[in-house]
Structure 1
């Protein structure tokens, strides 16, 4: 049974693979997602003149497509023989990846949990994934309380 843990935010993704035998492996992926800051519009000099608003929708769509590409890139690096996945990380990216996995119509690995965690070192990531698959009830109970 091949188990994977994915730590991600919108800058980096770490894929921790736990094979049945042997040491864990870590793969790091960089993100190309750039979130655009909303810029202010401008006002006409006349009191009832038109107001210019920035092209927010275009920026939001660009961000959405970049996120979709990032999630697809992550899913391409997950081996086809993966049985279970746990996703963890500090930001909203983990929820986006969860939705991307659930939207796959054909076979996909079982998504065990989506956990909130801080920024971790690589050793802490491996320890968290190992501990999760050893004692999943401790993580699932804590996540439901919050």
Structure 2
């Protein structure tokens, strides 16, 4: 089956990856997995904790928090932009998974005028096996 015939998609997502599961006429099928550029733990050489980075000069210490936050936000924006490009072909979108990534992504979709006519739903779920992901999407769209 081609992905173009799927008008409904379930996306299990967290901050590290997103699994796309297409749904059409009672059948659910894995479409693809998108890996996020977001890194949870960033350490640079010479860094002892998240707040200070030491240079060769022992008198110079810099607060690293602002720079790390900017990097994280840019990575998340890039990840969400990649997701937006992938979902443009679908009319019905189910976002599910652990954490707050699905809520952040739904808010981003709501701000995008080109996504205004899309139907988006959010469900909470934990980590699942491949078969559980398929069953979750199938059961959601059947009811």
> If the TM-score is normalised by the length of the shorter chain, which range does it land in?
0.7 to 0.9
Paired residue total: 126
Q: Which structure is higher in strand share?
A: 2
TM-score by length of 1: 0.74
Find the counterpart in structure 1 of residue 100 from structure 2.
92
Indicate conservation of the 8 Å contact 1:36/1:59, yes or no: no
Find the counterpart in structure 1 of residue 77 from structure 2.
68
For residues 7 and 91 of structure 2, the distance between their equivalents in structure 1, rounded to whole angstroms, comes to: 5
**1:17: Cα distance to partner?**
0.9
Q: Does residue 56 in structure 1 map to residue 65 in structure 2?
A: yes
In structure 1, the residue corresponding to 2:76 is in which secondary structure?
A: helix
- Change over 3 Å in CA distance of 1:64–1:98 after alignment to 2: same
Q: Does residue 127 in structure 1 map to residue 135 in structure 2?
A: yes
TM-score by length of 2: 0.75
**1:26: Cα distance to partner?**
2.7
Find the counterpart in structure 1 of residue 35 from structure 2.
30
- Change over 3 Å in CA distance of 1:56–1:110 after alignment to 2: same
